[in-house]
Amino acid sequence: MTEATDLAERAGDRDPRVGLRAVAALRRLLEQLEAVQVRSARNQGWSWQEIAAELGVSRQAVHKKHGR
Amino acid sequence: MFERFTEGARGVVEGAVAHAERGGADKVEAGHLLLALLDARGTKGAFALSALGVRPEAVVSGLEEARRRGGVSAADAEALAGLGIDVGAIVSRVEEAHGEGALAHGRPRGRRLWAGSGHRPFTREAKTVLEQSLRVALARKEKSIGDEHLLLAMAARPGVVRDVLAGCGVTFDALERVLGNGNGNGGAAKAG
């Protein structure tokens, strides 16, 4: 049995491992989604300040993470 | 630690750097270590993979799919589906708007700090694999670190690489079955 089908079967049992795995994966996906959106905004001429405001973080934080 | 690496294990580390370079990645990832392991010939790592009937293409495509999903393995996607999150739908919408493979690239291409330079740092995950390989070798009471220890290390730590390996039937237990579970404890590797 593959790990994936095994997980699907256990998902209904509220197995913490499945829930925690989902959270960790979502975090990675979120980071990539953020990178895609920031890149797109920059390509459309948005300033770091504007991007930071939409994300609700400081300009320094967003520039440090995505700049260069 | 690196002085304890066998020629095979060093080959995997160097091969991983080459894979990262070829793929245009700015860092050497755990997935690159796994790709390099697939290239190994005549090592215990290569023996273990073939003894478990691993098809290299399956590993390559498993890694590639996870990369395209933004670092989400097939098993991760199943877990997220349990929360009602359809990763496939997210990936297609993002790719529709931002191009194929949009989620696979963290940063804009061509403006990378390390692009084109010879030096590529290892990601935290890749470093963890190297460190874990030492721990695995010590636990097995084996003095040098071979590529089979790198493989065992990959199968031991949660992450995309472990999931891809598990999807191909390569789990820590399965590896111990073909490699033996430590010095003097037999296993198909010693018998053969």
Per-residue pLDDT tens digits for B78-105: 999 999 999 999 999 999 999 999 998 7
Q: What is the pLDDT of residue B26?
A: 87
How far apart, in whole angstroms, are the C-alpha atoms of residue A55 and residue A46? 13
Mean pLDDT over B156-184 rounds to: 92
Position B36, amino acid: A
Q: Distance, in angstroms, between B143 CA and closest chain A CA?
A: 32
Contact A21 B69 (CB under 8 A): no
User: Is it the case that residue A10 has pLDDT exceeding 90?
Assistant: no
Contact B81 A19 (CB under 8 A): no
User: Is it the case that residue A7 has pLDDT exceeding 70?
Assistant: no
Contact B79 A36 (CB under 8 A): no
CATH number at residue B31: 1.10.1780.10
Q: Is residue B127 part of a domain?
A: yes
Which of A56-60, B73-77, B151-155, B180-184 bottoms out in mean pLDDT, i.e. has the lowest?
B180-184
DSSP conformation class of B5: B
User: Is it the case that residue B111 has pLDDT exceeding 50?
Assistant: no
Domain coordinates of chain A in residue numbers?
A: 3-66
Q: Which residues contact B38 (CB under 8 A, 6 or more apart)?
A: B49, B56, B59, B60
For residue B135, CA distances in Å to B128, B129, B138 come to: 10, 10, 5
- CB contact, 8 Å: B105 with chain A? yes
User: Is it the case that residue B144 has pLDDT exceeding 60?
Assistant: yes
For residue A45, CA distances in Å to A49, A62, B181 come to: 11, 15, 58
Chain A residues whose beta carbon lies within 8 Å of the beta carbon of residue B107? 35, 39, 66, 68
User: Is it the case that residue B178 has pLDDT exceeding 60?
Assistant: yes
Which residue among B83, B98, B113 places its CB closest to the CB of A40? B98
- CB contact, 8 Å: B186 with chain A? no
Percent helix / strand / coil, chain A, rounded to 5: 80, 0, 20
Closest by CA position to B158, among listed B7, B6, B30:
B30
Q: Is residue B88 part of a domain?
A: no
Q: How many domains does one find in chain B?
A: 1
Chain B residues whose beta carbon lies within 8 Å of the beta carbon of residue A8? 78, 81-82
Using CB atoms and an 8 Å cut-off, which of residues 24-43 of chain A contact chain B? Answer: 24-26, 28-29, 31-33, 35-36, 39-40, 42
How far apart, in whole angstroms, are the C-alpha atoms of residue B169 and residue B58? 11
Closest by CA position to B133, among listed B161, B107, B106:
B161
Which residue among B72, B111, B158 places its CB closest to the CB of A68? B111
Mean pLDDT over B143-165 rounds to: 96
Residue of B nearest to A66 (CA): B107
* C-beta contacts of A58-64 below 8 A and 24+ residues apart: A62/A38
pTM: 0.84
Q: Is residue B129 part of a domain?
A: yes
For residue B144, CA distances in Å to A4, B77, B123, B137, B155 come to: 34, 37, 23, 7, 19
Which range marks the domain in which residue B152 is found? 2-68+108-191
Q: Is residue B124 part of a domain?
A: yes
Q: What is the pLDDT of residue A67?
A: 86
- CB contact, 8 Å: B82 with chain A? yes
> What average pLDDT does chain B have?
89
The pLDDT-based confidence of B44 (bands split at 50, 70, 90) is very high
Percent helix / strand / coil, chain B, rounded to 5: 60, 0, 35
List phi, psi (to 5°) of B158: -60, 145
